[in-house]
Amino acid sequence: MTSGDGSLTEELDLFYEEVRRHNSSPLWLQERQTVKTVPFLWRYDDFRPLLMRATELVPVGRQAERRVLVFANPGLEGKQSATSTLLANLQIIMPGEVAPSHRHTASALRLIVEGSGAYTAVQGEKSYMDPGDFVTTPNWTWHDHGHEGQGPMVWLDGLDVPMVMTFEAQFQEQYSEDKQPITKANDASMRLFGAGTLRPTWIHHDSVHSPLINYKFAHVYDVLTTLAKETDGSPFDAITLEYTNPLTGGPALATIGCFAQLLKPGQHTKAHRHTGGTIYHVIEGKGYSVIAGKRFDWGRKDTFVVPSWAWHEHVAEVESVLFVYNDWPVLQPLGLFREEPYTERDGHQEVTETFVAGPA
């Protein structure tokens, strides 16, 4: 029945062509969905010179509202994002510059990398930022940045832009002036809500996000190191603290889970995997992570990605503090969060490859 098979193939081709003309596609021919995000690392030493060159070539203003270099995961061709749902960028601002006020439905966080004297203003409140500070810009809040100090100021931006774009819920508005009016005392939210266990009863905060703008690193580091005297934390995640909304105990940002992780000198966590592509930024320290069998050496200010469902474990050569963020607040209530420990080889992966950082 050779000729019969031939005509069947021809008939199938004709059928597929007709289905395509109907703007449709047969499910049985579609590629099975797999994780496209790859483990990757961007070294700060490679990016600092690029950021400095950008300060000479590109002024911040209404043309380039933010001087930002976006980390593009090579597994996510054309998407220009660190994971499928989150952005990780480095932003640089120089003394005297103002990144003009706007608001958008994407939520943002800043993790300060270098410098001082710059502020972020959010909804009428200014907060000056120092290295290691975690600063929130919840969705649809007016925000602008300005630098009143000396020397370059750099931070890591984390945003849920790809998630918001997937939902096609992107809105953006410019403020009528570069700077929004300041209507509150600097860091007013820190005094009102920073105590965490004591809630100001006369304030009604009508938002799914934390009312706190700046979670100062000095406090976070103090809590981490105090706990480190008593515990190693989780075998998989060491001492990890979540940045929470003090009014609910939930995540600081409704769409982005944010954490600070302390690894003691010599600490080697056990491997596990979970859904939720995760971005790690090294606030301080030195060590390496094994991600899907590949070794990623990291140092201060480097940023790396652990894709969803990738085995990962961390090794600190000296005391290390990592800032960690992912999309768990969206996955969890939808029943999409899963987690699994690595049970072979006493919980440690075999290292089969070493990642070489730097330009292609």
The CA-based diameter of the chain, rounded to the nearest angstrom, is: 85
Q: Does 301 bind ligand 1HN (CB under 6 A)?
A: no
Of 81, 83, 91, 189, which lies in the binding site for ligand 1HN, with binding defined by CB under 6 A?
91
3-state SS, the chain, equals CHHHHHHHHHHHHHHHHHHHHCCCCCHHHCCCCCCCCCCEEECHHHHHHHHHHHHHHCCCCCCCCCCEEECCCCCCCCCCCCCCCCEEEEEEECCCCEEEEEEECCCEEEEEEECCCEEEEECCEEEECCCCCEEEECCCCCEEEEECCCCCEEEEEEECHHHHHHCCCCCEEECCCCCCCCCCCCCHHHHHHCCCCCCCCCCCCCCCCCCCCEECHHHHHHHHHHHHCCCCCECCCEEEEECECCCCCCECCCCCEEEEEEECCCCECCCEEECCCEEEEEEECEEEEEECCEEEEEECCCEEEECCCCCEEEEECCCEEEEEEECHHHHHHHCCCCEEECCCHHHCCCCCEECCCCCC
Distance between CA atoms of 253 and 105, rounded to whole angstroms?
A: 12
Q: Which stretch binds ligand 1HN (CB under 6 A): 56-64, 86-94, 222-230, 337-345?
A: 86-94
Nearer to ligand 1HN, 150 or 170 (CB): 170
Q: Which stretch binds ligand 1HN (CB under 6 A): 52-60, 83-91, 242-250, 343-351?
A: 83-91
Nearer to ligand 1HN, 143 or 273 (CB): 143
Minimal distance, residue 115 CB to ligand 1HN, in Å: 15
Distance between CA atoms of 246 and 193, rounded to whole angstroms?
A: 7
Minimal distance, residue 334 CB to ligand 1HN, in Å: 24
Q: Which of residues 263-292 bind ligand 1HN (CB under 6 A)?
A: none
Minimal distance, residue 105 CB to ligand 1HN, in Å: 10
Minimal distance, residue 227 CB to ligand 1HN, in Å: 32
Q: Which of residues 129-188 bind ligand 1HN (CB under 6 A)?
A: 143, 145, 157, 159, 161
Nearer to ligand 1HN, 155 or 215 (CB): 155
Q: Does 68 bind ligand 1HN (CB under 6 A)?
A: yes
Alpha-carbon distances of 218 from 215, 224, 297, rounded to whole Å: 9, 10, 26
Question: Binding mask 205-234 vs ligand 1HN (x if CB under 6 A, - otherwise)?
Answer: ------------------------------
Q: Answer yes or no: are the C-beta atoms of 192 and 203 closer than 8 Å.
A: yes
How many residues bind ligand 1HN (CB under 6 A)? The answer is 13
Minimal distance, residue 120 CB to ligand 1HN, in Å: 8
Of 60, 92, 108, 224, which lies in the binding site for ligand 1HN, with binding defined by CB under 6 A?
108
Q: Does 331 bind ligand 1HN (CB under 6 A)?
A: no
Minimal distance, residue 288 CB to ligand 1HN, in Å: 29
Q: Which stretch binds ligand 1HN (CB under 6 A): 87-95, 282-290, 309-317, 318-326?
A: 87-95
Minimal distance, residue 161 CB to ligand 1HN, in Å: 5
Of 36, 48, 66, 300, which lies in the binding site for ligand 1HN, with binding defined by CB under 6 A?
66
Alpha-carbon distances of 43 from 38, 292, 325, rounded to whole Å: 16, 19, 18
Minimal distance, residue 201 CB to ligand 1HN, in Å: 32
In one letter, which amino acid is 324? Answer: V
Minimal distance, residue 251 CB to ligand 1HN, in Å: 20
Residues lying near ligand 1HN in the complex (CB under 6 A): 66, 68, 87, 89, 91, 99, 106, 108, 143, 145, 157, 159, 161
